[in-house]
Structure 1
Amino acid sequence: MPAYTVREWDKLAYGDGEGQIPVHHADRLAGLAARSVFAGRGGSGVFEHGRQALRARGVVGILAAGDASLEILPKIDVVPGETPDHQNAAIRKRLVHMLAVAFDLKIDLGVITDLAWQRETLLEILIRIFCEKLTAALRKGMPRRYIDHEEDLPNLRGQLDITRQFTHHAVNPSRLACRFDLLSEDIALNRIMKAAVLRLLRVSRRSANQQRLRELAFVYADIVDVPVSGLRWDEVVIDRTNRSWQDLFAMARLFLQDRYQTTTGGAGQGTAMLFEMNALFEEYVGRLIARALAGTGLTVSLQGGHLFCLSAQDNERGLFQTKPDILIRRGGAITHVIDTKWKRISSRIDDPKQGVSQADVYQMMAYAQLYRAPRLTLLYPHHMGLGPEDLVHARHRITGHQTTLETASIDVANGTDILTRLRRLLLSEEPKVDYAYA
Structure 2
Amino acid sequence: MSLTATAIKVQEIAEKGESLVSLSPSQAARLQELRFCRVLPTSDMGSWRVTDVNRVGVVAIDDVRIIVKPKTPLRSLIFMASYSGVQASVRDAHFAFEADEDLPSALASAFLSAVDDATSRGLLKGYIPVNETGTVVRGRWDVARQLKSRPGLPVPIELTYDDYTEDVAENRIVKAALRALMRIEQLPSRVIDRAGVTTTLFADVSELRPAMSVTLPRESRLNAHYQPALRLARWILETTSWAHSQGASEGATFLLNVAKVYEDFVGRVLQVTLRPAGFDVDLQVSDWRLDTGGEVRIRPDIVISRGGRVITVADTKYKVWGDSNGSPPNADVYQALAYAVTAGVSEVHLLYVSGEVEPRKYTIAATGSTVVAHAIDLFGGPELLMVSARDISEALTRSNEDPSLAPHN
Question: Could you report, residue by residue, the CA deviation over 1:316-350 in whole angstroms, capped at 9, with x for unpaired residues?
Answer: x4121222333334554434333332333437xx7
Q: CA deviation at 1:74?
A: 3.3
Show the counterpart of 2:52.
57
Secondary structure of the corresponding residue to residue 195 of structure 2 = helix
Decide whether aligned partners of structure 1 residues 58 and 296 sit closer, same or farther in structure 2, where only a CA change above 3 A counts: farther
* Alignment RMSD (CA, Å): 4.3
Q: CA deviation at 1:228?
A: 2.3
2:391 and 2:246 mapped to 1: Cα distance? 48
Residue type of the partner of 2:52? R
1:367 and 1:161 mapped to 2: Cα distance? 50
Q: CA deviation at 1:295?
A: 5.2
2:342 and 2:238 mapped to 1: Cα distance? 35
Show the counterpart of 1:407.
373
Secondary structure of the corresponding residue to residue 142 of structure 1 = coil
Q: CA deviation at 1:57?
A: 2.7
Residue type of the partner of 1:371? A
- Matched ranges for 1:185-204 at <5 A: 185-203=166-184
Decide whether aligned partners of structure 1 residues 286 and 435 sit closer, same or farther in structure 2, where only a CA change above 3 A counts: same
Query: Does the CA contact (< 8 Å) of 1:59 and 1:72 recur in 2?
Result: no
Question: Could you list the runs of 5+ residues in structure 1 that have no partner in the other structure?
Answer: 16-22, 40-44, 77-90, 312-316
Decide whether aligned partners of structure 1 residues 271 and 404 sit closer, same or farther in structure 2, where only a CA change above 3 A counts: same
Show the counterpart of 2:391.
421
Q: CA deviation at 1:126?
A: 1.8
Show the counterpart of 1:6.
13
Residue type of the partner of 1:94? S
Secondary structure of the corresponding residue to residue 303 of structure 2 = strand
Secondary structure of the corresponding residue to residue 314 of structure 2 = strand
Secondary structure of the corresponding residue to residue 233 of structure 2 = helix
Query: Does the CA contact (< 8 Å) of 2:289 and 2:296 recur in 1?
Result: yes
Residue type of the partner of 2:33? A
Query: Does the CA contact (< 8 Å) of 1:61 and 1:275 recur in 2?
Result: yes
Secondary structure of the corresponding residue to residue 342 of structure 1 = strand
TM-score, reference length from structure 1: 0.69
Query: Does the CA contact (< 8 Å) of 2:353 and 2:376 recur in 1?
Result: yes
Q: CA deviation at 1:240?
A: 4.4
Alignment of 1:74 onto 2:66:
no
1:53 and 1:206 mapped to 2: Cα distance? 29
Alignment of 1:212 onto 2:194:
yes
Decide whether aligned partners of structure 1 residues 263 and 309 sit closer, same or farther in structure 2, where only a CA change above 3 A counts: closer
Secondary structure of the corresponding residue to residue 194 of structure 1 = helix
- Matched ranges for 1:245-324 at <5 A: 245-257=226-238, 260-263=241-244, 270-293=251-274, 296=277, 298-304=279-285, 306-311=287-292, 317-324=293-300
Show the counterpart of 1:135.
116
**Between the two proteins, what is the percent identity of the paired residues?**
22
Question: Could you report, residue by residue, the CA deviation over 1:58-103 in whole angstroms, capped at 9, with x for unpaired residues?
Answer: 4233234356543423334xxxxxxxxxxxxxx11111122223x6
Query: Does the CA contact (< 8 Å) of 2:20 and 2:48 recur in 1?
Result: yes
Aligned with 1:346 (options 306, 322, 332): 322
TM-score, reference length from structure 2: 0.73
Secondary structure of the corresponding residue to residue 413 of structure 1 = coil
1:192 and 1:32 mapped to 2: Cα distance? 30
Residue type of the partner of 1:61? V
1:152 and 1:230 mapped to 2: Cα distance? 36
Aligned with 2:303 (options 317, 327, 337): 327
Secondary structure of the corresponding residue to residue 284 of structure 1 = helix
Task: Mark the structure with the bigger radius of gyration.
Answer: 1
Q: CA deviation at 1:188?
A: 4.6
Secondary structure of the corresponding residue to residue 319 of structure 1 = coil
Secondary structure of the corresponding residue to residue 253 of structure 2 = strand
Query: Does the CA contact (< 8 Å) of 1:196 and 1:252 recur in 2?
Result: yes
- Matched ranges for 1:12-91 at <5 A: 12-15=19-22, 23=23, 28=27, 31=30, 34-35=33-34, 39=35, 45-51=36-42, 52-65=47-60, 66=62, 69-76=65-72, 91=73
Decide whether aligned partners of structure 1 residues 431 and 271 sit closer, same or farther in structure 2, where only a CA change above 3 A counts: same
1:266 and 1:360 mapped to 2: Cα distance? 32
Query: Does the CA contact (< 8 Å) of 1:149 and 1:180 recur in 2?
Result: yes
2:160 and 2:133 mapped to 1: Cα distance? 8
Residue type of the partner of 2:352? Y
2:204 and 2:314 mapped to 1: Cα distance? 49
Aligned with 1:392 (options 340, 359, 365): 359
Question: Could you list the runs of 5+ residues in structure 2 that have no partner in the other structure?
Answer: none
2:277 and 2:172 mapped to 1: Cα distance? 42
Query: Does the CA contact (< 8 Å) of 1:146 and 1:183 recur in 2?
Result: yes
Residue type of the partner of 2:362? H
Question: Could you report, residue by residue, the CA deviation over 1:371-390 in whole angstroms, capped at 9, with x for unpaired residues?
Answer: 3322233332223xx4xxx2
Query: Does the CA contact (< 8 Å) of 1:30 and 1:47 recur in 2?
Result: no
How many residues are aligned here?
Answer: 381
2:371 and 2:177 mapped to 1: Cα distance? 45
Secondary structure of the corresponding residue to residue 341 of structure 1 = strand
Secondary structure of the corresponding residue to residue 320 of structure 2 = coil
2:119 and 2:68 mapped to 1: Cα distance? 33
Q: CA deviation at 1:291?
A: 4.2
Secondary structure of the corresponding residue to residue 133 of structure 1 = helix
- Matched ranges for 1:218-257 at <5 A: 218-225=200-207, 228-229=210-211, 239-257=220-238
1:122 and 1:136 mapped to 2: Cα distance? 21
Show the counterpart of 1:430.
403
Alignment of 1:158 onto 2:149:
no
Q: CA deviation at 1:197?
A: 1.9
Query: Does the CA contact (< 8 Å) of 2:78 and 2:110 recur in 1?
Result: no
